[in-house]
Amino acid sequence: MNLFKLLFITNDINVAKIADNSGVDEIFIDLEKIGKDERQSHLDTVISNHKLSDISLMKKNLKNSEIIVRCNPIGEWSIDEINKIIDSGADTIMLPFFKKKEEVEIFLNIVNGRVKTCLLVETLGAVNSLSEILNLKDIQRIHIGLNDIHIERKSKFMFEPFSDGMLEKISKLVCSQNIKLGIGGVSKIGSKLIPSPEKILAEHVRLGSSSVILSRSFLDTSKSKNFDFIKKEFSEGVSLIREYEKTLSSWTNEMFIKNSLDIKEEINFIINNNE
């Protein structure tokens, strides 16, 4: 049994078919645009050009992967948008950039149990309100968005929540309610990043996280339309994660604790040397 549900963001049907055949669990359609450019225009992030019609196209062509769709934050447009997302065939709807319990209640009332729901916790308001939010019904998943938390906190390093106790606190809250947890993204196994993808995935296991987004550093398909290359990279990249999952399945508690301490040391070193 796989430890992680793997997500990949794309609206390119050819790339999605490759990801689907390579063992990616969910294709991520990103419709969030409202407010995002203001928050992230100064950073090296992608504002997607995904469209509502991409959902039905994926639904018709994918054999194994489910479809998760990120809608816009709650607003006057939400009823119409969410109904159209559901009618188009989404399996899960993800609510981004909420700050209060009331926004989540509106979202859940609109969805009304018709599809699965995932809350993207990416604001300090959401973090601080999480204990009361988790008492609401029909929340299947929580995913922690590290990028916007990083922006709001004005922190020096995006992975800081792995070292300062924030993810520890969130994971305990979420897991105590038997709600599935996911955290951020991950690069390809073997990448020379700090902390390494291997260490990050091990910390996911310790924290109780069971889903992760395959990041641009895993495979940036905007830089190549060579589908043979993309197929090779996907097949190899997903296989490496699945093999590493087998390794993690044999780890002892002591090994996970040591890995956690190593990550904190590496992150703190980066923070202290960026002053």
Query: Is pLDDT at 43 greater than 60 in this prediction?
Result: no
pLDDT cut 70: percent of the chain above it:
96
pLDDT for 90-131, tens place per residue? 999 999 999 999 999 999 999 999 999 999 999 999 999 999
- The answer to whether 48 touches 9, Cβ cutoff 8 Å, is yes
What is the rounded distance in angstroms from the CA atom of residue 227 to the CA atom of residue 236? 14
pLDDT number for residue 40: 55
Mean pLDDT across the stretch 200-224? 93
pLDDT number for residue 46: 62
Average pLDDT, whole number, for the chain?
94
pLDDT number for residue 36: 72
pLDDT for 119-129, tens place per residue? 999 999 999 99
pLDDT number for residue 156: 86
- Prediction pTM value: 0.94
DSSP string, 15-46: HHHHHHHTT-SEEEEE---TTHHHHHTTSS--
What is the rounded distance in angstroms from the CA atom of residue 211 to the CA atom of residue 266? 23
Q: Which domains does the chain have, with CATH numbers?
A: 5-272 (3.20.20.60)
Ranges 146-150, 226-230, 248-252, most confident: 248-252
Mean pLDDT across the stretch 233-237? 96
DSSP string, 190-204: T---SS-HHHHHHHH
Query: Is pLDDT at 42 greater than 60 in this prediction?
Result: no
What is the rounded distance in angstroms from the CA atom of residue 261 to the CA atom of residue 165? 12
pLDDT number for residue 221: 84
Query: Is pLDDT at 74 greater than 60 in this prediction?
Result: yes
Mean pLDDT across the stretch 225-249? 95
Mean pLDDT across the stretch 161-167? 95
pLDDT number for residue 70: 98
Q: Nearest-5° angle of CA 57, CA 55, CA 221?
A: 80
Q: pLDDT grade, residue 223 (50/70/90)?
A: confident
**Poorest-confidence range of 45-54, 66-75, 100-109, 204-213?**
45-54
DSSP alpha helices (H): ranges in 62-123? Answer: 78-87, 101-111
pLDDT number for residue 118: 98
- The answer to whether 31 touches 69, Cβ cutoff 8 Å, is yes
